[in-house]
Each structure stands twice: as C-alpha cells, then as structure tokens.
Amino acid sequence: MSEERVRRALLFMPGDDLHKISKGAELGVDSIIMDLEDGVALNRKIDARQNVFQALLTLNFGRTERLIRINAVQSGLAADDIAETIKARPDGYVVPKVETEDDLRFVIQSVMDFEQTLGYPIGGTKILAIIESARGVINLPEIANEGSPLVALIFGAEDLAGDIGAVRTREGKEVAYARSAVVLHAAAYDLEAIDTPFVNLTDLDGLKTETLDAMRMGYTGKLAIHPNQIQPIVDIFTPAPEEIAAAQRLIAAYEAHQASGTGVFAYEGRMVDAPMIRAAQRVLGRAKASGKI
C-alpha cells in the first residue's frame, strides 16, 4: 500500500452525537468515521454537519484518523456536507453508494476545489469509497482506477444484499462474489480493502470468524459499529510475533539464496518462490504499519 497509516478497525460514530464522538476519540482506534449518512435522521443532517465541524476543531483524537462519511452523491446532500465541514480539516471523506466513477469524481473534484481555494495541500484529504450496490460492483474497474486521493475501497454487504434482493446469512454466500471483487480490484489498483461491518453486536465469535476470513482474503481492515468490536478486529489484522518472526526468517533465507544465485529453493520442507516471498513481505508490511517492527 502506498500509505504508512494503518486502517485495521474503522469505527462509525453518529455525527449528531458529540458525546459519542468524544468517547470514540479516546479509544485509540485507527480511524473514526463520523457519520452524516445512515446514522443521522433526515431532520438532523444540518445539526450533524455543525456537530462534526465542532468535534474536529475541539476534540483531541490523538493518532486516530478523523474521517467523515458524507451522504451519497445521488442524495443531493454531498456537496453541502463537504462545504460545511472541510474547513475543520478532516483527514478524509468516506463516500457511500459509489456506483460510477462519476460519483467518485464529483466528490474528489469538490474536495480538491476547496483545497485549492483554502490553500490546503491538493490531494491531502483522503477518499475512501464504499461499494454497496450491483452497479458499484459492476463498475469496479473504473471506480478503482480513479487514482489519488482515493486510498481504499470499502465493501458494504448489507446495502448490496438489499439492492440485489438477497437474504443475508452468517455464511455470506449471497455476497461472496462482490466481496471477492472488491478486494481483488483494491489489490489491482494498490488500494486498501476494508471489509463490511458485522452487525450482530453480541456475537463476538461470529465477528472473529468473519474478520479472519476477510484477512485471509486479502482485506486490510474492517468497519466497526461498536467499541467492543475494535480489539477483536485489530488483533486479527495485526500479525502475531510468531508470524513476524517466520516472515523475517523466510525473507532472510530468500535474500541469502538470491545472493548465491539461487531462485527457487527449499525451506522448512517447502519449495519457496516469488508468491511466498510477497506474502511474507505483506506480513512485514502489516507489522510495520501496526508498529510491531
């Protein structure tokens, strides 16, 4: 990934509740997403914008990334969401229901226009796009290829299931194709891939199982909708000490064989080639981003 920032757990907080945002700012989570969309009633949208603006100006978020989920471009509210909050310098915007590259381009251009007008670094405000509709999945090649400041694709299973008329199950077979497509396109365009939230707040075993599946698929993080979900997600997306040590040994053996002119080689009973080395390098990349090395 092109950035050093780690996004293992991204916690949603309702934008119209300053108390909850304040509590979230104290958790030390990788990213907080202050929500102006689904978490806010229609008659509270203006209040939520003002609330998020004040939160950004007055709260100490520490190392936590400060993101805002705006309303969908199709809603007609996105432009005002950006205009009313960007002067408080959020770290980025999360764009829901991205269905075409034009949706994403509208937000990126709006943000960049404000950056230029306000004298901020152009492209400094990061963009994360949620893919949660059939059209969004079908148009992933164009969306993912939009370029900087897009840094991540987020998979939204609940809205997608509603869009295609599927019934959500714990196994997730009904959204498996789309979940795979999002992580595949993120990898192809050097973007982070953030997995859908786990909506059963009392089923921590289910959360761990789904998060582990996401990590093994290639996802780099997962959305959280309750503080109790943060630590299980972080633990799974942070390489364990034994994983780090094994990756370091493999890389050292690879470098030694490269120096001696050997390509493919046997290591601990297995043949090692380039894909295994890339996997080890990804483990070390995750460990570095997590502060473990």
CATH number at residue 139: 3.20.20.60
pLDDT given at position 3: 55
State how many domains the chain has: 2
Give a yes or no: residue 133 inside a domain: yes
Residues 6+ apart with CB under 8 A from 202: none
Answer yes or no: do 223 and 260 share one domain.
Answer: no
Answer yes or no: do 133 and 254 share one domain.
Answer: no
Its domain, for residue 38, covers: 9-237
pLDDT given at position 145: 97
127: closest CA among 223, 13, 33, 36?
33
Domain stops at, among 199, 215, 237: 237
Answer yes or no: do 110 and 140 share one domain.
Answer: yes
Give a yes or no: residue 192 inside a domain: yes
Helices 274-289 and 241-259, axial angle in degrees (round to 10): 130
Answer yes or no: do 219 and 249 share one domain.
Answer: no
Residue pair 157/167 in contact (Cβ under 8 Å)? The answer is no
Give a yes or no: residue 71 inside a domain: yes
**Burial environment of residue 116 by CB neighbours within 10 A (0 to 12, 13 to 18, 19 or more):** exposed
pLDDT in tens, the chain (293 residues): 445 689 999 999 999 999 999 999 999 999 999 999 999 999 999 999 999 999 999 999 999 999 999 999 999 999 999 999 999 999 999 999 999 999 999 999 999 999 999 999 999 999 999 999 999 999 999 999 999 999 999 999 999 999 999 999 989 999 999 999 999 999 999 999 999 999 999 999 999 999 999 999 999 999 999 999 999 999 999 988 998 998 899 999 888 888 888 777 888 888 887 888 888 888 888 888 778 88
pLDDT given at position 257: 84
The rounded distance, in Å, linking the Cα atoms of 253 and 266 is 10
Answer yes or no: do 273 and 228 share one domain.
Answer: no
Give a yes or no: residue 151 inside a domain: yes
Answer yes or no: do 48 and 174 share one domain.
Answer: yes
Answer yes or no: do 156 and 266 share one domain.
Answer: no
The rounded distance, in Å, linking the Cα atoms of 214 and 221 is 8
Give a yes or no: residue 226 inside a domain: yes
The rounded distance, in Å, linking the Cα atoms of 165 and 8 is 30
Answer yes or no: do 34 and 148 share one domain.
Answer: yes
pLDDT given at position 2: 44
Give a yes or no: residue 61 inside a domain: yes
Answer yes or no: do 44 and 115 share one domain.
Answer: yes
Answer yes or no: do 177 and 246 share one domain.
Answer: no
Q: How far from each other are the two terminal CA atoms of the chain, in whole angstroms?
A: 17
Give a yes or no: residue 150 inside a domain: yes
127: closest CA among 84, 49, 65, 169?
65
**Burial environment of residue 227 by CB neighbours within 10 A (0 to 12, 13 to 18, 19 or more):** middle
Beta bridge partners of 130: 154
Answer yes or no: do 210 and 250 share one domain.
Answer: no
The rounded distance, in Å, linking the Cα atoms of 89 and 97 is 23
Beta bridge partners of 34: 13, 68
Give a yes or no: residue 4 inside a domain: no
Structure token pair of residue 75: 């809603």
Answer yes or no: do 99 and 159 share one domain.
Answer: yes
pLDDT given at position 11: 98
